[in-house]
Structure 1
Amino acid sequence: MNLISAELLKLRTTSLWWIFLIILVPLYGVALAFNWVAANALGALGRETEDVSFGFFNLEQTVSNLYTSGQFGGVLLVLLLSAILVTNEFFHLTATATFLTTPRRELVILAKMAVSILIAVLVWLFTTALNLLLAPVALTSTNGESFLGESFVWQAIGLNLLVHVLWGLVGIGCGVLIRSQIGATITLTVLYVVGTQIFTAVFALLANLVDDSIMKLRIIIPTLASDLLVSGPQSADDLPRWVGAVVLLAYAGVAGVLGTLITRQRDIA
């Protein structure tokens, strides 16, 4: 607990966390507006379309997206703050003191993982609280009901928490691999925001040149795995929801284990 308290203190004394929180608010607003428009587009179709897709619109998926609005920006915030928990040690030259105080470096990494999970839970609580207030308003004004009594809504909300937690663990591992705070922030942001489009385009090109089945492999893109886990398959050709969970668990497991091993063996200057 002392290590976790120390990591929380380090986080509170980092000014970046509230800057990211301020950035999260407009990102959440954009996501909510987009999902509100999608719900409005399906408003006249009614519950009889629940299992029918219209382009990229599907009633269950649209409602799930509305109740998990802000996932994209929230996960990015969790990813970056988790990485900063590690890179801060090198940026402020406190790594040596930290590891001299706690020679078992894996305990330090575990404490940072615990704090990253706490960050993930708090960000999830923030966006979920807003969603539970605003999503019913959007849905009742367009569909005539809030869908809060449906199990798939609460399943999406719960899985959204899992997504935030797993991305937090990925952030810790990435922070160990990229010790530069600026380098880690820029690299992870670019990969998260732009990488999805680039890698999706690469898979589309390969599918066009080689075989259409290659498009199924795009699920290895972590952001797409997040979408699959929370919203479910978008079409009959998509892989089942649990595959998204496996992909994210794999990324989190590899990043966490690799980060711990590297930290134990790396010389700290």
Structure 2
Amino acid sequence: MTRDRSSLANSTRSELTKQFTTSMWWILGLVLFVYVGLTAGGLAATFGALASGALPPGAANSPALPADTLPPLIYSIATAVGYVFPLLIGTLMVTNEFRHRTLTPTFLATPRRGVVLAGKVAAGVVMGAFYAVLAIIAAVGVGAAALAAFDIHTQLGSADTWALIGRMVIAFVLWVLIGIGVGTLVRNQVAAVVGVLAFTQFVEPILRAVGGFVDGLSEVTQYLPGAASDALVGASIYTGIGGATTSGPAWWVGGLLMLAYALVFLLLGWLLTWRRDVS
């Protein structure tokens, strides 16, 4: 048991070293921070101006959102638009090994492949938490400042707000684990990345949009990964703007759904590809 723990600790440390010795980690972190910050700031300023009356109601095509609903919607931008980043990070953690053929020496150093995969999962938890902090600082920091500029209460003293922030951290971690599962299952990096981008940016958004107009379809689309993430966090700019009336799963159900996605992908990857020979 002690040896297994030591091997897992060494594997986790090795994985983290791999992540932080290349430029990819800070490039993705910088893009995530800027993207989330600009989106949160822009939307907070727009909705805050409408809610406070700084902009006339006729300046928008829809009624202004109530001021007390704005903080959670703005803060949740960290996951609502930023979730693709932890998903890509998890995918790259594995596919980079296949692309650059570094998995062979990894397996030679740690022959037990289950320990290697567990090390990646453990490192993924750390990476997910790290990028969650970046995204939350961007969304909450910039978003709250923009709301405060229009005298909108930021709700940063509310326990509900901090519970939402905590759930966003969990969502980021789970997205990284889902990405590791995808990367384990799909060895080809180009195919994995294109598949992730296609599903998150086109397939699921289209299905969820159509589900808002087709009776019964929303009962299915609410269990898609992105919808499960929104349910876990408890707020989403997309459902908030769309005025969705269909109640989704409880936050803990959303969390369990995301965990199930991660476990299924990891298990399939372990059974179908991870144990195969590598060159």
Bin of the TM-score, shorter chain as denominator length:
0.7 to 0.9
Match of 1:265 in 2: 275
Match of 2:194 in 1: 186
SS in 2 for 1:70: helix
Match of 2:226 in 1: 223
Give the drift of 1:244.
2.3
1:1-269 map, 5 Å: 1-32=9-40, 33-43=42-52, 57=65, 59=67, 61-201=69-209, 203=211, 207=214, 212-232=215-235, 235-242=244-251, 243-269=253-279
Identity rate of aligned residues, in percent? 31
- Over the aligned positions, Cα root-mean-square deviation in angstroms equals 2.6
Give the drift of 1:56.
9.1
CA 1:55–1:176: 2 relative to 1, 3 Å: farther
TM-score where L is the length of structure 1? 0.83
Whole-angstrom CA distance in 2 between matches of 1:61 and 1:186: 35
Higher mean C-alpha deviation, range 22-31 or range 88-97: 22-31
Give the drift of 1:161.
0.7
Whole-angstrom CA distance in 2 between matches of 1:17 and 1:102: 24
CA 1:119–1:58: 2 relative to 1, 3 Å: farther
Given that residues 71 and 144 in structure 2 are in contact (C-alpha distance below 8 angstroms), is that contact kept between their aligned partners in structure 1?
Answer: no
Given that residues 169 and 255 in structure 1 are in contact (C-alpha distance below 8 angstroms), is that contact kept between their aligned partners in structure 2?
Answer: no
The number of residue pairs the alignment matches comes to 256
SS in 1 for 2:222: helix
CA 1:222–1:251: 2 relative to 1, 3 Å: same
Given that residues 167 and 232 in structure 2 are in contact (C-alpha distance below 8 angstroms), is that contact kept between their aligned partners in structure 1?
Answer: yes
One-letter code aligned to 1:221: L
Give the drift of 1:145.
2.4
One-letter code aligned to 1:147: Q
Give the drift of 1:24.
1.7
CA 1:214–1:190: 2 relative to 1, 3 Å: closer
CA deviation vs aligned residue, 1:101-123 (integer Å, no higher than 9, x gap): 22211111111111111111111
Return 5+ residue gaps in structure 2 as ranges. Answer: 1-8, 54-61
